[in-house]
Amino acid sequence: MDCHSPGQGLMPASFKVRTVPLEGDDTATEEILDPDFGEAAIGRVAPVDSGLWWIILLRAYGKCSGDLSLQERVDVQTGIKMILRLCLADGFDMFPTLLVTDGSCMIDRRMGIHGHPLEIQALFYSALLSAREMLAPEDGSADLVRALNNRLVALSFHIREYYWIDMRKLNEIYRYKTEEYSYDAVNKFNIYPDQIPHWLVEWMPGTGGYLIGNLQPAHMDFRFFSLGNLWSVVSGLATRDQSNAILDLFESKWKDLVSEMPLKICYPALEGQEWQIITGCDPKNTPWSYHNGGSWPTLLWQLTVACIKMNRPEIAARAVHVAEKRLSEDKWPEYYDTKSARFIGKQARLFQTWSIAGFLVAKLLLANLDAAQMLITVGIPNLLMPFLAWSQGENVVGRV
């Protein structure tokens, strides 16, 4: 884009199949893959999540099929290493989370999730665990594995400690002091208590909690993002207690997060002037539509894997029962609109593969709970937390 090339390891957002004349033979043609690294995307934004998903699903394929020959191939091992080096590269950022530009997930559109959005951190953590499991032991990968292990420990501490919100933590933030300059500051990110939105004060249940959508200096995005929270459960990024609390939240806020069609992609929607400023008056991300509080049936399978991991499959079964009343009749739309998900999305495509697949995978996993193990990873043990809490005033990665 404008004579600038992205780093090696960036994965395409999509492919198109092009038919071109066969070289040396004008009468014959061949099909080639034409990848889009962002140069054709809306807003010209490169995707940050596709490479992470590629590593996660590569591991899942091996677990499911028993065929490890693909992940052991030299070109595939090279691909894993390139993605890791791109994501683990040192830069100006001070945090162990992965820095993200706005629009590089959520399909090229501004949703105010630039910086360190939870969804990407959960996928990053899962991809690191999966890559560690698949990397072939050789001299060239030793330093990479060492950096990977350090990042896993630091990232898990950072998310569990600073992104977690429940009634106790909310009250703690409400009483924060600001402008604390020291290594042992309590309010490390200089969060102003007035940032706590009015909706959250009433919405937060007495039991349960969740990981907030984003954290940056002087900014906390208190919105609930389903994929980030569910994948934190699946990957083990959230602790066991936090994982159960996230599922408790789904049960207690069922009307808001599931309602008439699972599953809200985020809650609540941006409205009014906030929607105008953050999305740039995006006509597709109007309140309670698309990625701004819309409901996406494809999220059913992530909910199911998370519930199975925590031995609470009845929650997923209840959501699947809600979905199957309408999905087929509505012709498998991409997403649903309105706060209660009563309408098919105003620009939703029908007969969407990921809507059908999300529903079928959820049904099949509920029929065979053991199959979910192909996607579940074991996170960093909670035993490390006291050590990390003690060392957080210093360089955590260096100490580990």
pLDDT of residue 392: 46
* Bridge partners for 264 per DSSP: 295
Please state the separation of Cα 375 from the chain's center in Å: 14
H-assigned helices in 24-68: 50-65
Q: Dihedrals φ, ψ of 51, to 5°?
A: -65, -35
Report which secondary-structure segment, H or E, holds 165: strand 164-165
At a CB cut-off of 8 Å and minimum separation 6, what does 182 contact?
Answer: none
Name the nearest CA neighbour of 9 among 122, 65, 88, 64.
88
* Bridge partners for 16 per DSSP: 34
* Bridge partners for 211 per DSSP: 164
pLDDT of residue 33: 92
Q: How far, in Å, are 90, 149, 182, 206 from residue 400 at the CA level? A: 17, 9, 22, 36
In tens, the pLDDT along 171-230 reads: 999 999 999 898 889 999 999 999 999 999 999 999 899 999 999 999 999 999 999 999
pLDDT of residue 396: 43
Handedness of CA 191, 195, 201, 203 (dihedral sign): negative
Query: Within the chain, which residues score under 70 in pLDDT?
Result: 382-400
pLDDT of residue 393: 45
By the 8 A CB rule, do 237 and 122 touch?
yes
pLDDT of residue 385: 54
Residue type at position 383: L
Q: Dihedrals φ, ψ of 18, to 5°?
A: -115, 140
H-assigned helices in the chain: 50-65, 69-72, 74-88, 118-134, 142-158, 167-174, 198-203, 226-235, 240-252, 254-257, 272-279, 300-309, 313-324, 353-367, 385-391, 396-399
Q: Dihedrals φ, ψ of 289, to 5°?
A: -140, 150
pLDDT of residue 400: 37
- Taking the model in full, what pTM does it have? 0.92
